[in-house]
Amino acid sequence: MRAPDKSILRLLAHPAKLNRPAPQISLVKAYQTMTPRMWIPVGLFVGGIVLIAAAVTSGEAEVSLLVVFPVFSGSSPLFLLGTLLIVISFIVGFLMLALGQIQLAGGGYWPTGGSADQPAAGNVRREYGGVVLVGPVPIAFGSDRRIALIMLVVGIVLAIVFLGILVALA
């Protein structure tokens, strides 16, 4: 019979270990840890935005505002290609997330540098954050308060830039 794991009891016996501050990760370090395949959906999305913007500026597509939500419409090949690139970027992004989870679980699609039985050297805590723009309203989230505040600032800046572009095009 296997002995019970008492690591949780040891942590509860020393509550100071539970409240350790998380190590800070700089944006440069986060950029350096991104693998090249993570940039594929980002590049597709940015390419789609650029193509739609080119279609709008050349008059092949138009932008209108429905309450606070921008609506893009057009029938040119440039606009269609931009829209397709954006849709494909979401599909590729979700596939990359799924394959990354398989890799972390030890499925082995990519070399991980170790086996599932031997954890990697050093226990790394990952920090994450994001922002969702619902019209001009940013909704920010993150693994801790600092990341969430950074994402809120990024969301506010994006909303101001986007609304400025819409006003300039109107």
| Contact (Cβ atoms closer than 8 angstroms) between residue 85 and residue 47 | yes
Query: Whole-model pTM?
Result: 0.48
pLDDT in tens, the chain (170 residues): 566 666 666 656 665 555 555 556 565 555 556 677 778 899 999 999 999 999 989 989 988 888 777 788 888 999 999 999 999 999 998 888 877 777 766 655 445 454 444 545 566 777 888 888 888 888 888 888 888 899 999 999 998 998 888 888 87
Task: Compute the half-sphere exposure of residue 102: CA atoms within 13 Å on the CB side of its CA.
Answer: 11
Residue with tokens 């890799």: 103
Return the closest-CA partner of residue 141 out of 1, 150, 96.
Answer: 150
Tokens at residue 163, please? 């609304």
